[in-house]
Amino acid sequence: MGTMTEIAFQIILYAGNGRSCAMEAIQKAKEKQFTDADRLIQEATEELGKAHHYQTTILQEEASGEETSVNVMFVHSQDHLMTAITVKDLAIEIIELYRNK
């Protein structure tokens, strides 16, 4: 397994964890368990931060002049990360709607 593929799997792992936490946070808010919802959003942020760290590694390598060979798995990981970030952002807004209901 090449380095790019290994990094892609790490991004997918952490992005998936972040997305799951964000979705669970929405359910907690729906049940009026806002302390749990806030904790899960924090967990989502931490997991997405880990994914972003791996993404930044590749970006820094390319910016420093290293040639990178992007594969389909890496592109797929980027899709996962972007979607997970969007889910987290929307979860924060949905939680606020439940909180102010």
Catalytic residues: 76
How distant is the alpha carbon of residue 78 from its chain centre? 10
**Spatial separation of the C-alpha atoms in residues 95 and 66, rounded to whole Å:** 42
> Tokens at residue 24, please?
């669970």
Q: Which two tokens stand for residue 86?
A: 């969007």
CA–CA distance, 22 with 39 (Å, rounded to integer): 10
